[in-house]
Amino acid sequence: MRLTLLITLILCSVIFSIGHATVYRWVDEQGNVHYSDQPRENAEQVELSENTQNSVAAPSVIETDSSPKEAKPVEYRVRIVNPTQEQTIRNNNGNFTVVASAAPELPSGFLMALYIDDLLYGQPQSSSIFNVTEVNRGEHNLVVKVLTQNGKVLASSSPRKIFLHQASVFSIAKPQPLPSKK
């Protein structure tokens, strides 16, 4: 089909150039000069040189990849801002606040989850601030993860080690009698 169309176009251009190669020039009663491809009374044939013919070069075809571009997946990063690494937190009730930061900003529908010692603390939430309550004293590792609604982990922070201190009734200093003077 394409080959037939191409041959037809080539033949038409050859016939067109042969049939229209002759140009006639004449002057009317008002002195206006006219040109035509049809002979007229008092018309003279004009010889055209190569440089008087217009030719237009077709622009070169630029091939483009028409396959759809795959969107580069966004790489999210999350970090724990507060508490700092190896921070000592003193709270008798075991309460403290964890603040995380994600970059780039998370679109709606993404959740953040806090893990304390590899266990999920509470439910994943859209906020990056976690109010932690009633954690026992001792050393703990905190990790914040960015999750999709179906639970797929998109990013995870580096573990953050903290120390939680609580006062104990067993460590209260008992009054000691003063040594007597002799």
Under a CB-based contact definition with an 8 Å cutoff, are residues 109 and 149 in contact?
Answer: yes
pLDDT at 163: 94
| Residues paired with residue 78 on neighbouring β-strands, in sequence order | 102
Note down pLDDT in tens along the chain; length 182 residues. Answer: 777 876 777 766 665 555 555 788 888 888 888 878 888 888 888 776 666 556 677 777 776 665 666 667 778 889 999 999 999 999 988 899 999 998 888 888 899 999 999 999 989 998 899 999 999 889 999 999 999 888 888 889 999 999 999 887 565 555 666 676 65
The string of pLDDT tens digits covering residues 39-78 is 888 888 877 666 655 667 777 777 666 566 666 777 888 9
Q: Are 112 and 125 spatial neighbours (Cβ–Cβ below 8 Å)?
A: yes
Percent of the chain whose predicted confidence (pLDDT) is above 90? 30
6: left (phi over 0), alpha (psi -120 to 50) or beta: alpha
Q: Write down how long the chain is.
A: 182
Q: What's the pTM?
A: 0.54
Q: Are 144 and 112 in contact (CB under 8 A)?
A: yes
Indicate the Cα dihedral angle 138, 139, 145, 149, nearest 10°.
-20
In CATH, what number does 77-167 get? Answer: 2.60.40.10
Residues 6 or more apart whose CB falls under 8 angstroms from that of 142 comprise 80, 83, 98, 114, 115, 116, 159, 160, 161, 162
Domain boundaries, the chain: 19-48, 77-167
